[in-house]
Amino acid sequence: MTRLRQASAWRKKNESTTNDETRKVKFRHSAFVIVSSFVIRTSSFLFSAIFPTALQAEENVSVLGSKPKWSVLEKYQETITHDEFNRLIHDVYCTHGFAPDLIEVSAKTAHVLIDRDSQKFFTLRFAVNNAGRKPVPHLWRPAKSLSPARADKPLVGLKVVLDPGHLGGKWAKMEERWFQVDKSRPVQEGDLTFRVARLLAPRLREFGAKVSLIRSGGEPVTAKRPDDFRELARKILIKNGVPLPREDVLDPNDPAKEQTIRWQSEILFYRYSEIRRRAALVNFKLHPDLVLCLHFNAEGWGEPTHPTLTDTNHFHLLVNGSYLAEELEFDDQRFEMIRRLLSRAYDEELPLADTIALTMARETGLPAYEYPTTNSTTKVGMSGYVYARNLLATRLYRCPVIYCEPYVMNSNDAFVRIQAGDYEGTRLINGVERKSIFREYADSVAEGLVDYYSKARARGD
């Protein structure tokens, strides 16, 4: 990857910096590229470090990723027609295009590059037509394959995993998911999402769902800690033109802190290692039919101890898709994209996300978030609130995943409601009788699930 391409990737990602996954730091970018935004994807800084060179083609995988086993895709032979494959790849997964030498679609087959050096390809054979299509194998169950349910238990038997985003507690400052206005209670996203999950779990169980939380408190799921990544952090920095990286951040407001071993090893811990560990739990232990990733959004708040509050408030939902051309260059991301496409998770995610979007819009009264550019996201579905985007969690969890991003935490309205905490019934907040923000969030997601599964699965009464 050339310096020029890194720079353009940086600009692309930085044009839309208002998302939750933006790190709330101001920084100057120096001679080489450092990316503060969208670190939940592979940040370009880490990205460029692992990007293949002639010397390390065998390591052409993203941060903490592993070499894909392409043979597992054999089970998808003849499970999809040419037209269906084309629709999903162009309208959902590769909306920004892809290099012609990575994926080649012909009438009967698709060839997907396994390894550029050896020029090996995986060949997918299409079903001749819909009637000749073999069943799609997956461990999760689509709504229509669930056994019939009684009208008052539309979620009976459904296995749902709730993934409250981030860690919270003592980790919130490290995650840069923390701000405090004067002497008010600090706002820590990981604690807010956990609160929503604790309210949402019993709501879903009332309707018959089997629900588990991916974390039981503010502690990480990964057993690793930042110190475990110091060597990798050092290597990444050296590869990116910092020959003698500093160990520690001396001044937390110094934008050059991203060039320290501490900062890099921390993000490897709380973002990459943590989400990969959660994915292992989802994929190898919990085997849910659906994962709900719970987040709160934010607009850039500047100094966490003197944060900017804004009148802007909105929400949106994300499903996996919209891979960037440079992300598809990674062997593991290209493989995971194809596996996800073939699993047809999208066929379940999209109508479910659209349904949840409508109940959330009704309950919260929030407008749809509009990304300032379409460089990393693609609007999908009918509701106007749902985007496709390649986030680590939506890519790695091998089942339908809905990633919720309601409320701007540092909006004047949400801030007051967060400070009011959780309560029963309604209270007068900013002149309006409202539920607690946590209950409103949980209730509106639960309503969306009830609406969707009531219609999508067979009735048993």
CB of 318 to Zn ion, least distance (A): 11
Residue 330 or 369 with smaller CB distance to Zn ion? 369
Residue 233 or 409 with smaller CB distance to Zn ion? 409
Which of 165, 168, 304, 406 is close enough to bind Zn ion by CB under 5 A?
165
Q: Is 113 helix (H, G, I), strand (E, B) or coil?
A: strand
Residue 70 or 179 with smaller CB distance to Zn ion? 179
CB of 444 to Zn ion, least distance (A): 18
CB of 242 to Zn ion, least distance (A): 28
Contact call for residues 326 and 299 (beta carbons, < 8 A): no
Residue 59 or 219 with smaller CB distance to Zn ion? 219
User: Of residues 375-404, which lie at the interface with Zn ion (CB under 5 A)?
Assistant: none
Contact call for residues 50 and 59 (beta carbons, < 8 A): yes
Looking at residue 175, what DSSP letter applies?
Answer: T
Residue 89 or 279 with smaller CB distance to Zn ion? 279
24 forms part of the interface with Zn ion (CB under 5 A): no
Contact call for residues 127 and 78 (beta carbons, < 8 A): yes
Q: Which range of residues in 271-279, 294-302, 413-421, 428-436 is near Zn ion by CB under 5 A?
A: 294-302
User: Of residues 29-58, which lie at the interface with Zn ion (CB under 5 A)?
Assistant: none
Q: How many CB atoms lie within 10 A of CB 182?
A: 6
Residue 338 or 391 with smaller CB distance to Zn ion? 391
Residue 89 or 408 with smaller CB distance to Zn ion? 408
Looking at residue 81, what DSSP letter applies?
Answer: B
Which of 12, 20, 207, 263 is close enough to bind Zn ion by CB under 5 A?
20
Contact call for residues 217 and 166 (beta carbons, < 8 A): no
* Tokens describing residue 326: 């440079």
CB of 336 to Zn ion, least distance (A): 21
Contacts for 374 with CB less than 8 Å, ≥ 6 apart: none
Angstrom distance (rounded) from CA 310 to CA 318: 23
- Euclidean distance between the first and final Cα of the chain, in Å? 59
- CA dihedral sign of residues 192, 193, 194, 198: positive
Contact call for residues 183 and 199 (beta carbons, < 8 A): no
CB of 2 to Zn ion, least distance (A): 32
Residue 20 or 299 with smaller CB distance to Zn ion? 20
168 forms part of the interface with Zn ion (CB under 5 A): no
Beta strand 178-179 pairing with 290-294 = unpaired
295 forms part of the interface with Zn ion (CB under 5 A): yes
Residue 20 or 349 with smaller CB distance to Zn ion? 20
CB of 293 to Zn ion, least distance (A): 8
Q: Which range of residues in 167-175, 227-235, 291-299, 419-427 is near Zn ion by CB under 5 A?
A: 291-299
Angstrom distance (rounded) from CA 99 to CA 440: 44
Contacts for 250 with CB less than 8 Å, ≥ 6 apart: none
The candidate with the shortest Cα–Cα distance to 139, out of 356, 399, 335, is 399
CB of 172 to Zn ion, least distance (A): 11
Q: Which range of residues in 116-124, 162-170, 342-350, 383-391 is near Zn ion by CB under 5 A?
A: 162-170
Angstrom distance (rounded) from CA 45 to CA 380: 29
User: Of residues 233-262, which lie at the interface with Zn ion (CB under 5 A)?
Assistant: none
Q: How many CB atoms lie within 10 A of CB 257?
A: 18
Contact call for residues 292 and 441 (beta carbons, < 8 A): no
CB of 227 to Zn ion, least distance (A): 25
Residue 290 or 404 with smaller CB distance to Zn ion? 404
Burial of 223 (C-beta count, 10 Å sphere; 0-12/13-18/19+): exposed
Tell me how many residues contact Zn ion (CB under 5 A): 3
Kindly list the strands in the beta sheet with 401-406, ordered across the sheet, starting from the edge strand earlier in the chain. Answer: 210-213, 159-164, 290-294, 401-406, 315-319, 386-388, 378-379
Residue 24 or 435 with smaller CB distance to Zn ion? 24
CB of 255 to Zn ion, least distance (A): 22
CA angle 263, 180, 233 (to 5 degrees): 5
Cα 394 to the center of its chain, rounded Å: 4
The candidate with the shortest Cα–Cα distance to 397, out of 456, 319, 323, is 319
CB of 73 to Zn ion, least distance (A): 31
Q: Which range of residues in 19-27, 73-81, 142-150, 246-254 is near Zn ion by CB under 5 A?
A: 19-27
Which residue's CB atom is positioned nearest to Zn ion? 295
Residue 23 or 344 with smaller CB distance to Zn ion? 23
Looking at residue 137, what DSSP letter applies?
Answer: P
Angstrom distance (rounded) from CA 347 to CA 319: 11
CB of 316 to Zn ion, least distance (A): 12
CB of 294 to Zn ion, least distance (A): 9
Residues that bind Zn ion (CB under 5 A): 20, 165, 295
